[in-house]
Homo-oligomer: A and B are copies of this chain.
Amino acid sequence: MIMKPNTIEPSHLLAALNWRRAIKVFDPDKLIPAETWAALEQALVMSASSYGLQPYRFIVVQDKKIRQQLLPHAWDQRQVVDASHLVIFAARTDVTEQEIDDYIQLIARVRGVSPDSLRNYREMMRDSLLADDFKPVARHWAARQAYIALGNLLTSAALLGVDACPMEGFVPAGFDSVLGLTEQGLTAVVMCALGYRSAADEYSKAAKVRFPASVLVKHV
């Protein structure tokens, strides 16, 4: 049984989330330390997903030449090249039998049980995810799972003092082509630049804009 780790203070969490901004101007000379980055990658790996199926891959682009190739497909937004790290969230365009079977084998291996003991779970996934009426929504479902990972990454980064900018403003087909995603059954759904804000980033100095809790949260 896993030990419950120390908790942080609610005020500490909120200070980090309030500090978090979508950074428009990164300091290109400030790199995320290796240990910190390793933790953020591990945070991505530990994200929650429907059935635990992890229907996505995370493409971490540090090669500046490839970032330059992505740039024109992202309306030349400088975060793409200036940030320390760039993560492309690539979601499955379809769910396959193979993917479900690989996952069942993985559970069996990690938990030391027989794949046969997971038969019901396998059937449940097959019945819902391979159904004809699921086909047209499979890519939307996979994208949603990738967005859980994005939300997790943004909060994780804020707590580690790393700046981030989630970005939907790019042409998926262009990214898929540069990164060779299509042939892997993947498509870029969102990306996140990470690093450290530049003192020149005026937006990050402005007040955070949110509808009041009384509008966003309804109690019943």
Query: Chain A: how many interface residues by the 8 Å CB criterion?
Result: 86
Using a CB-CB cutoff of 8 Å, which residues 142-174 of chain A contact chain B?
Answer: 143-145, 147-156, 159-161, 166, 168
CB-based contact B147/A208 at 8 Å: no
Copies in the complex: 2
Partner of A39 from B14, B110, B216 at Cβ < 8 Å = B14
Query: Is the CB of A71 closer than 8 A to any CB of chain B?
Result: no
Binary flags per residue of A20-51, CB closer than 8 Å to B gives 1, else 0: 10100000000000011011011111111010
Least distance between A76 CB and chain B CB atoms (Å)? 15
B22 touches A10 (CB 8 A): no
Find the B residue at minimum CB distance from A107.
B209
Q: List 27 contacting pairs A-B, 8 Å CB cutoff, sorted by A.
A: A1-B205, A2-B18, A7-B159, A8-B159, A10-B38, A17-B43, A18-B46, A20-B46, A45-B213, A46-B210, A50-B168, A56-B216, A58-B216, A59-B218, A60-B218, A60-B220, A103-B211, A110-B209, A140-B140, A144-B190, A145-B147, A147-B148, A148-B148, A148-B166, A149-B151, A150-B151, A179-B220
